[in-house]
Amino acid sequence: MGPLIYGTAWKKEKTADLVVQAVLAGFRSIDTACQPKHYEEALVGEALKRLETHGIQREELFLQTKFTPLSGQDPVRIPYDPTAALEVQVAQSFEASKRNLQSDYVDSLVLHSPLYPYQNLTTVWMAMEGVYHNGGARALGISNCYDLELLKRLYADATIKPSVVQNRFYRESGYDRELRQWCDTKGICYQSFWSLTANPHILSSETVVALAQKYGKTEAQLFYRYLCHVGITPLIGSTSAQHMAEDLAIFEVELEHEEIGRIGQVLESYIV
């Protein structure tokens, strides 16, 4: 997995063109989902084939998709049998993902959100472990999981431990401070989404503005660089060539330890 992931949600008919553009710009990690409500997963697969003509093979890319439970699906575009048992839904969804992506495997298979009661969560996780054991996924993860105790319980019960947690990065969850600290102790990669959209107050803070000016970068670049410095892998959904180039250019900057701390203090000031 690279330090940045290109997110394909809400790209609709532009998905293939944007994925090709992002990879040619330098992105090497792609996030999608078997959720027609918000993703055009088949167009990600089309992009992968187009990239081969540019000399970029599937094996050079980190590809992540998701199993989305019924509650997150469009009722008229469900990619599996909604009346089937949960383990069958997982299997059917993954088969759809393989067809869409034109790939026999993904590098990461993520559960899009926890299920309740807990037994349903473990049933789905065991089905995902089946995909893993059959060589279909090289890692498993969970998204939209803000309950640290639930994550700890899943981790304890799972045979194949979650290696990815993908959450919205916003103040309403306290920026997942404790959850991220626990993930660090377990070697779990924390992926953030809505990193810019949910944080205009951070981008406009005096600290971020001043540091962006110091390094000759935009506030968005500065904040993305901060996230990478503290071990967060942000999803990035840029749709313009300029923004993609700017996103990839964040590694031209190395923030000082004290500067990282100052940005951290800005986030802390919004945690209740």
pLDDT of residue 40: 98
pLDDT of residue 29: 98
pTM value is 0.95
pLDDT of residue 1: 83
- The DSSP code sequence of 217-246 is --HHHHHHHHHHHTTEEEEE---SHHHHHH
Query: What is the biggest distance separating any 2 CA atoms in the chain, rounded to whole angstroms?
Result: 57
pLDDT of residue 175: 97
Q: Is residue 40 part of a domain?
A: yes
Residue 53 identity: T
Q: Is residue 12 part of a domain?
A: yes
Q: Is residue 205 part of a domain?
A: no
Contact between residue 65 and residue 41 where contact means Cβ atoms under 8 Å apart: yes
Q: Is residue 148 part of a domain?
A: yes
Q: Is residue 272 part of a domain?
A: no
* Total count of domains within the chain: 1
Tell me, what CATH number does 49's domain have?
A: 3.20.20.100
**Cβ contacts of residue 168 below 8 Å, gap of 6+?**
144, 192, 193, 194, 198
Domain that holds residue 76: 5-198+232-238
Q: Is residue 21 part of a domain?
A: yes
pLDDT of residue 236: 97
Q: Is residue 209 part of a domain?
A: no
10 φψ region: left (φ > 0), alpha (ψ -120 to 50), beta (else): left
Q: Which of 212, 207, 211, 221 is nearest to 266 (CA)?
A: 207
Q: Is residue 248 part of a domain?
A: no
pLDDT of residue 43: 98
Task: Print pLDDT tens along the chain (272 aa).
Answer: 889 999 999 999 999 999 999 999 999 999 999 999 999 999 999 999 999 999 999 999 999 999 999 999 999 999 999 999 999 999 999 999 999 999 999 999 999 999 999 999 999 999 999 999 999 999 999 999 999 999 999 999 999 999 999 999 999 999 999 999 999 999 999 999 999 999 999 999 999 999 999 999 999 999 999 999 999 999 999 999 999 999 999 999 999 999 999 999 999 999 87
Phi, psi of 16 (to 5 degrees): -60, -45
**Cβ contacts of residue 160 below 8 Å, gap of 6+?**
128, 129, 132, 133, 140
